[in-house]
Amino acid sequence: MSERILVTGGAGYIGSNIAAALLKRPATDVVVVDDFSSGDWRNLIHVDCEVRAADCDDPLLLEEIADGAFSAIFHQAAITDTTVMDQRLMVEVNTNAFAGILAASSLSGTRVTYASSAGTYGNSPAPNRIGHGEEPENIYGFSKLAMDRVACRWYDRHPAPIIGLRYFNVFGPGETHKNERDGNKTASMILQLYEQVKAGKQVRLFKYGEQKRDFVYIRDVVSANLAALDAPRSGVCNVGSGEARSFNDIVSNLSDLLGRQIDVEYFDNPFTFYQEHTEADLSDSKMLLNWKPAWTLEKGMQDYISLLENGHRGPAEIA
3-class DSSP string for the chain: CCEEEEEECCCCHHHHHHHHHHCCCCCEEEEEEECCCCCCHHHHCCCCCEEEECCCCCHHHHHHHHCCCCCEEEECCCCCCCCCCCHHHHHHHHHHHHHHHHHHHHHHCCEEEEEEEHHHHCCCCCCECCCCCCCCCCHHHHHHHHHHHHHHHHCCCCCCCEEEEEECEEECCCCCCHHHHCCCCCCCHHHHHHHHHHCCCCEEEECCCCCEECEEEHHHHHHHHHHHHHCCCCEEEEECCCCCEEHHHHHHHHHHHHCCCCCEEEECCCCCCCCCECCECCHHHHHHHCCCCCCCHHHHHHHHHHHHHCCCCCCHHHC
Question: Strands 245-246 and 212-213: what pairing?
Answer: antiparallel
What is the mean pLDDT of the segment spanning 116-134? 96
Whether 266 is a known active-site residue: answer no
What is the mean pLDDT of the segment spanning 81-89? 93
The per-residue pLDDT for 276 is: 82
The per-residue pLDDT for 177 is: 81
Q: What is the per-residue pLDDT across 127-174, written as a single tens digit (0 to 9) for each? A: 999 999 999 999 999 999 999 999 999 999 999 999 999 999 999 999
At residue 180 the predicted structure's pLDDT band, cuts being 50, 70 and 90, is low
Question: Strands 162-167 and 111-117: what pairing?
Answer: parallel
List the beta bridge partners of residue 53.
34
Any idea which fold 3-171+216-242+273-294 has?
A: Rossmann fold (3.40.50)
Handedness of CA 228, 284, 175, 105 (dihedral sign): positive
What's the distance, Cα to Cα, between the start and end of the chain in Å? 28
The per-residue pLDDT for 269 is: 83
pTM for this structure? 0.95
What span, in angstroms and rounded, lies between the C-alpha atoms of 175 and 165? 19
Q: Check 13, 121, 140, 167 and give the catalytic one.
A: 140
Q: What is the per-residue pLDDT across 65-80, written as a single tens digit (0 to 9) for each? A: 999 999 999 999 999 9
The per-residue pLDDT for 271 is: 73
The per-residue pLDDT for 16 is: 98
At residue 31 the predicted structure's pLDDT band, cuts being 50, 70 and 90, is very high
Q: Check 114, 178, 212, 217 and give the catalytic one.
A: 178
Residue 185 has pLDDT above 70, yes or no: no
Whether 140 is a known active-site residue: answer yes
